[in-house]
Structure 1
Amino acid sequence: MTSIMQMITLGSVTFCLIGGVAALSAEQSFYPPALNNTAYIANSSIGTYGGIYRAPTNGPTEGTPYGIYDYCSMPHPRAQEYALPEPLEQGRAKGKLVYLEYLQRHQRRSPYNILPEGENQAYQCDSVRPYLYAGPNAASGVQPIPMYAQTYQDHTNPFTPGVNGTCQYPQITIGGVQDGYRHGRDLWAVYGQKLGLIPREPNSRVWFRSSNSPLTQATAGAVLRGVWPEYHGALPLHQMVSSVDTVNEGYSCSAVSSTLSDIESTTEWKAHLNVTAELRSILGSMLGATDSSWQGTFDHFSDNFQARLCNGYELPCSVANASNCVTVDMAEEVFRAGDWEWNYYWRTNPDAVKYIQVVEGLFIGEIISRLQAVIDGKSTVDYSHIFIHDGDIGPILGALGIDVLRWPAMGSNIAFEIWETKEKQSPFYARVLYSGHPVQSIYGTLDWVPLSQLVDILKRYVPDDIVSLCG
């Protein structure tokens, strides 16, 4: 495995070896076969299992070879690699793409989690402008000056954010904006130019939604500019009221926390904490990260390290001792532990079905309703694009029965392609792509599945009565 340190030293390299021994295909990098076992976490020979965790501060990412698991900017459907579903490619069936449900996580950002004793590097975000303004819905009304947030620090303020610089935490970075634009251009090349589904200009048969987070909203602007670079109008980005939002854990549900508590009380969860006890102790002492929010899961360490490496920064060092730094081996073990946790949350824990139901069941129900409208000939939309979070992508992949789930990384995407055929018994077929690859699932590879069968797979995760389930 080419390590992160080698990435730093050598620049652009090919990431396709595990321990310098076995070559990995792009698709294989998504599915570590031993991820269900806690031994995966401590096995340093695995490295990052073919994954990339490094990107420049400025400029879009360059995953090499394209299509591998790239935490900084996951691959997506791209014209150079895109192929039709196998039955269409081989001429065994004829069909036309009639609907695309596209879900994606936001692009690269600064971290959520600042180290408790402070950061030894400053984050700079002067190169990106988070616009914040409102105006009337009529062109004849008073049009506001476009305003953007400019973060600064004042010497008279006795409080410190824990890190110098000009970023909010989190916020999309310039690399995230550039990745988003490229993401949109590639979607247009596949679903606009090649397949003719996305229209040349937005019309009434396209629909966009995001969470209430500025991260997803900013990503939508960048991606849709890539889809329509010459379009000069405004577009609605639909959002629910934050207190009842069906994505990003918007609605209140006590069953979420109680189910999570049950999950994190299992023998398997405790075993993974035992395996990583030494690592967590070292990191906690070095970085002042000793409370339960940092020690109970690898969410905070992973987030902090990922955000640094994916925006051109180095791994952190102790603020008190600049020579005491997180090593590449430590970071790789953190990332493997993070992957194990996500796989356990959404695939292998005994309460996975219930956990998906209470966290994402309502949103999965919304997806089903749009797919059912296609079956019933009542769909009013051809292209739906929804900008969400890793905490939404993960449970949806769990509901699809993905064989193995690594942490859904920046720009992770799920494409539900719906194809209409001439078959009388099953006129609609679905292909489900995860970051450009057909999903490898306990139901088989989701490359050509009767749409009604896909709906049945997902229905299990829609609760009959979410209000009662949530207490």
Structure 2
Amino acid sequence: MPHVRRAEYPEAHSSYTLEYVEVIHRHHKRTPYADNAFPVEAYPWYCDDESLLYYGAPFPTDGANHSTNTYWRVYTSPSNPLAPRGFNGTCQFPQITRGGLDDSWQHGKDLYGVYHDLLGFLPEKFDPSLVSFRVTNNIITSQVASMVTSSMFSGEAHQNLPLLVQPPSIDSLEPAYTCSAAKNNFSEYGVGSNDSGWTSHLKAASALYAHLDTISGVSPTDSGFHVSFDHYFDNLSARLCHAKPLPCNASNPSLCVTQAMADEVFRLGQYEYSYLYRDAGARTLEYSTGSYGIWVAELVQNLRDAMHKTDSVSSSNRTSSGIRYRHNVAHDGSISRLLSILQIEKMVWPGMGSEVVFELYMSKVDRQYYIRVLWGGQLLRSSNPTLGVLDMLRVEILIAYFDGLVGQKANKISSLCSI
């Protein structure tokens, strides 16, 4: 997916000084989730061209016993009579693939090409007092971060670098914290609901479902595949993202998913995300605010901290260095909720690597702070008239908008999430 890259980057006017950057993007391409695989897949999927490391090590390492860089190698035993559901082969489902690792590396290189090479904003070497990286409790985000950090700070390859992660029960980035009111709200209009705005496209796609079920072997009563197009979307898009053929029936190889069928699945998937996060009306903003408001409040606090680090009279009088660049590796559900809260003009299903960037500037003219928000490397357009095109908006306006939704330090979330 498009992201900040030097060739297309819209440089700010020279009368502004970049003070703080926060990046959030979806992980890069992966194998499908196991639940999204067909009961029997007609061909295997091998991941022998990469290693996913799983190990612990003493810290600090000086004078300590050292660990081996161990990694998982998936195998099946000839003595085990059970067949795995879905794909045979040597992959985890999910895992970031070799192509996804390479895309992650390129993503980091592109960001560094702008914020270091072009703007001189990032340091030459990784400095934890200036730069931080954050992931979710889903291991695939750490797999991505390992490549991003390596390409941004090449001297850190094979070195220890911390990835921030919150406890799984309260993780705001994924998000994984409980918000019962948001969940109930979503259940009234979203996936699995009887809301006509949701069920109409599923009924209209009954013929497509019948074709797909016959080819895949998925039961028409399998609710996971039939309450939305999420499962078929993930299964088919993962294949095409890795130049694999569209699937055929395991027993009748002449019966195959056509490109036209796949395109219809993708179109319906885009419709679903647009409906769930924008087109279902005010309910979408309420849902996203409750379920993602804590991360938004953290973003706002980061902006406040970045402004407070600089004396109001002179940008040369800094009270502390402070973190100037934060990088979050997240999921499609993370990006979707954030775009919903920003009331993006055109909602889409965020693809692999989809990125939102918040850039905080100080004007050299009036010494005030301004903010830009980039989506896919270009200025984000909000349908909210107060936000509009998020290009050098007075930062107080965006902060007031966020505070109005979630409260300072997310102090409204408790009441928003209670039933």
User: Structure 1-normalised TM-score?
Assistant: 0.80
2:93 equivalent to 1:151: no
- From 189, 201, 214, the equivalent of 1:272 is 201
3-state SS of 2:20 partner? strand
Please show how residues 445-456 of structure 1 align to structure 2 within 5 Å. Answer: 445-456=389-400
2:29 equivalent to 1:104: no
d(CA) in 1 for partners of 2:401, 2:100: 33
Query: Residue 423 of structure 1: CA displacement?
Result: 4.3
Letter in 1 for 2:207: E
Letter in 1 for 2:391: D
Query: Residue 278 of structure 1: CA displacement?
Result: 1.5
Query: Residue 251 of structure 1: CA displacement?
Result: 1.9
For structure 2, the 5+ residue unaligned runs are: 311-320
How big is each residue's C-alpha offset from its partner over 1:102-144, in whole Å with a ceiling of 9 and x where there is no partner? Answer: 0011111000144342211211101111001111111221110
2:413 equivalent to 1:466: yes
3-state SS of 2:372 partner? strand
Aligned length: 391
Please show how residues 318-333 of structure 1 align to structure 2 within 5 Å. Answer: 318-333=249-264
Please show how residues 19-168 of structure 1 align to structure 2 within 5 Å. Answer: 74-85=1-12, 88=13, 94-112=15-33, 113-140=35-62, 141-161=64-84, 162-168=86-92
2:167 equivalent to 1:241: yes
Query: Residue 101 of structure 1: CA displacement?
Result: 0.3
2:216 equivalent to 1:281: no
2:155 equivalent to 1:230: yes
**Which residue does the alignment assign to 2:361?**
419
3-state SS of 2:154 partner? coil
d(CA) in 1 for partners of 2:43, 2:215: 15
**% identical equivalent positions:** 34
Letter in 2 for 1:306: S
How big is each residue's C-alpha offset from its partner over 1:334-389, in whole Å with a ceiling of 9 and x where there is no partner? Answer: 11111111111111213112210222111111111111222333782100001110
d(CA) in 2 for partners of 1:325, 1:125: 24
For structure 1, the 5+ residue unaligned runs are: 1-73
Query: Is the CA contact 1:114–1:163 (under 8 Å) kept in the aligned structure 2?
Result: no
**Which residue does the alignment assign to 1:13?**
none
Query: Is the CA contact 1:353–1:461 (under 8 Å) kept in the aligned structure 2?
Result: no
d(CA) in 2 for partners of 1:121, 1:302: 18
Letter in 1 for 2:4: P
C-alpha distance 302-470 of structure 1, shift in aligned 2 (>3 A): farther
d(CA) in 1 for partners of 2:27, 2:119: 25
C-alpha distance 310-258 of structure 1, shift in aligned 2 (>3 A): same
Letter in 2 for 1:107: H
- From 220, 227, 238, the equivalent of 1:296 is 227
3-state SS of 1:386 partner? strand
**Which residue does the alignment assign to 1:258?**
184
3-state SS of 1:242 partner? coil
Cα RMSD (Å):
1.7
Query: Residue 146 of structure 1: CA displacement?
Result: 0.5
Query: Residue 464 of structure 1: CA displacement?
Result: 4.4
- From 343, 360, 366, the equivalent of 2:292 is 360
d(CA) in 1 for partners of 2:98, 2:402: 36
C-alpha distance 247-158 of structure 1, shift in aligned 2 (>3 A): farther
Please show how residues 301-316 of structure 1 align to structure 2 within 5 Å. Answer: 301-316=232-247
- From 193, 213, 233, the equivalent of 2:138 is 213
**Which residue does the alignment assign to 1:55?**
none
Query: Residue 270 of structure 1: CA displacement?
Result: 1.9
C-alpha distance 168-257 of structure 1, shift in aligned 2 (>3 A): same
Please show how residues 343-358 of structure 1 align to structure 2 within 5 Å. Answer: 343-350=274-281, 351-358=283-290
Letter in 1 for 2:309: G
Query: Is the CA contact 2:149–2:156 (under 8 Å) kept in the aligned structure 1?
Result: no
Query: Residue 460 of structure 1: CA displacement?
Result: 4.0
**Which residue does the alignment assign to 2:317?**
none
Letter in 2 for 1:366: E
